[in-house]
A and B are shown apart, each in its own frame.
Chain A
């Protein structure tokens, strides 16, 4: 692989018209990269090295960079651990000989990784103009004995922390836009479902829906005021909307003898995508925020489920050729693209805030892990979460 990369890089270097061409790696299996040099970022022992190593991993994970020297970009500065963590990063564009970023990152020693994630996102933005994803956090469901609990981790899988300890089944976590509140479905009382709202700042939770039948979480609205839910209290699993902190649910779909599920909001909050099986098999449908008759969106695949609507389209899971694959469909043009490879099952997609990557569940040999897909072509990356079965990733945006 390295040989081939070098060869292509040399070939490109021979093309004088392409700016930075010698620094862009193009291979059959990889997206284009900018080269970046971190050797001028001096690290003290311990915390400083952790900062630099985390930053380097983050820049590679962002998909935009490969580490090299000489390079298009250089990060200059220092990372020193004393009483706390103190780092300074300057990003230089070597071809234009100018600084694109010059910023200090200070915090406690425990915040070293978070500060490095922040620096990585700043560098991604300064170099590419694109939002980064390394500062995002993921909610997950993890199997514990016979049940499932909700966990929280960083976008690189680090800092894994268990949130619920209910010795029950906890499912379908969904962030509110502020990244401090989330909702999930719990079976903790008598194995009946209820929707809980958790405030991570105070560790408090509130039951916001416990209606007879099912109470499944859907997406929280972009303004943070409302939550979508699937309830069956009126005799059929349909889509409802309710205030995030409670109130009376309003029914948005009205079907008989059909199952609805997985409602999510469009980024502007004006439309909702969801799953319905009223045609016989689960497919994606669209309604306006006020509800009404669903408009069929998907046609390929024998099952289309689990939509997550981001700025770059609706990521969803499709059953094709005997596998579950993650696809992205443009809701306006219906242009549809498969993102995950076909080597095993990929489900539960959730957009990262960079609009480029998608977190999802990857199941192989009946074990589920969380991985990150790249819509620009890089290979899927598994999150190092250790042993266990991990599902339902929800990425903060």
Chain B
């Protein structure tokens, strides 16, 4: 998006906040919205200790389709792909190998417990663990992008183990069709 679009978007949201939900927060003064000095476009990829760095982001912007593949679940405070979840990863690997044009975003999530910043790292490690499993299954790492939402997007809004176990997860978003 251009700077102009962002300023417009900020204005629209600002107006919406003033006349919409913002009315309930009587103490909040509506801000003017932030301008944009410059945009650093998608950063370059990393190299990694072992040449295992992530590819750059270009190619992953666009409509991503959720829910084509089953979600991989994790234990508390763990980024290990469990034996019972391994078949889900293999299914995605088969699809990617059969569809050379497809790319995938792996979105890692955590439950609500623990600090938000630590959970961001934990969610990313879950996505990276699935990435590593896909690589072992023969998928080129350059076709995968990881993302961590940390604890910000729970699948189940509850506050017990039943909810938490559904929230510790990696979701696949595949871009590109058969």
Interface contact A198-B34, CB-CB below 8 Å: yes
Chain B binding site: helix, strand, loop or mixed by DSSP? loop
Interface contact A160-B128, CB-CB below 8 Å: no
Which of A166, A208, A246 has a CB less than 8 Å from the CB of B13?
Answer: A166
Interface contact A282-B118, CB-CB below 8 Å: yes
**Segment of A130-138, A167-175, A369-377 engaged in the interface with chain B:** A167-175
Known contacts A192-B147, A305-B117; decide if A163 and B31 are in contact (CB<8 Å). yes
Interface contact A203-B34, CB-CB below 8 Å: yes
User: For residue B34, which residue of chain A has the nearest CB?
Assistant: A205
Query: In B1-54, which residues have CB < 8 Å from any A CB?
Result: 1, 9-10, 13-14, 17, 21-22, 24-50, 52-54
Q: Number of B interface residues at 8 Å Cβ cutoff, please give it.
A: 66
Interface presence of A26 (CB below 8 A) = no
Query: In B79-112, which residues have CB < 8 Å from any A CB?
Result: 79, 107
Interface contact B117-A306, CB-CB below 8 Å: yes
Residues on the A chain within 8 Å of B57, using CB: 192, 210, 212
- Within the complex, the shortest CB–CB distance from A90 to chain B, in Å, comes to 33
Interface presence of A257 (CB below 8 A) = yes
Interface presence of B165 (CB below 8 A) = no
User: For residue A231, which residue of chain B has the nearest CB?
Assistant: B46
Residues on the A chain within 8 Å of B77, using CB: 277, 280-282, 303
Complex Cα distance, B77 from A358, in Å, reads 27
Query: In A165-203, which residues have CB < 8 Å from any B CB?
Result: 165-167, 169, 171-172, 187, 189-194, 198-199, 202-203
- A: contact size bracket: 35 or more
Which of A167, A198, A210, A348 has a CB less than 8 Å from the CB of B42?
Answer: A210
Interface contact B147-A191, CB-CB below 8 Å: yes
Residues on the B chain within 8 Å of A145, using CB: 21
- Within the complex, the shortest CB–CB distance from A345 to chain B, in Å, comes to 9
Interface contact B79-A203, CB-CB below 8 Å: no
Residues on the B chain within 8 Å of A193, using CB: 120, 147-148
Residues on the B chain within 8 Å of A246, using CB: 40
Taking beta carbons and an 8 Å cutoff, which residues of B are in contact with A? 1, 9-10, 13-14, 17, 21-22, 24-50, 52-57, 60-61, 77, 79, 107, 114-118, 120-122, 124-125, 128-129, 145-150, 152, 159
Can you list 26 contacts pairing A with B, beta carbon distance less than 8 Å?
Answer: A160-B27, A162-B31, A171-B120, A187-B149, A187-B152, A199-B37, A204-B37, A212-B54, A231-B46, A234-B53, A235-B128, A237-B124, A257-B129, A259-B79, A259-B121, A261-B120, A262-B115, A275-B118, A277-B77, A280-B77, A282-B114, A303-B118, A306-B117, A319-B114, A366-B159, A386-B25
Taking beta carbons and an 8 Å cutoff, which residues of A are in contact with B? 144-145, 148, 151, 158-167, 169, 171-172, 187, 189-194, 198-199, 202-214, 216, 230-237, 246, 254, 256-262, 275, 277, 280-282, 303, 305-306, 317, 319, 347-348, 366, 385-388, 391-392
The 7 closest A-B pairs by CB, nearest first: A233-B46, A259-B121, A234-B46, A211-B43, A235-B48, A305-B115, A212-B54
Given contacts A202-B35, A256-B49, 15 further A-B contacts (CB under 8 A): A144-B17, A160-B27, A162-B17, A163-B34, A198-B34, A203-B33, A207-B39, A213-B147, A214-B146, A232-B54, A234-B47, A262-B117, A275-B115, A306-B118, A386-B25
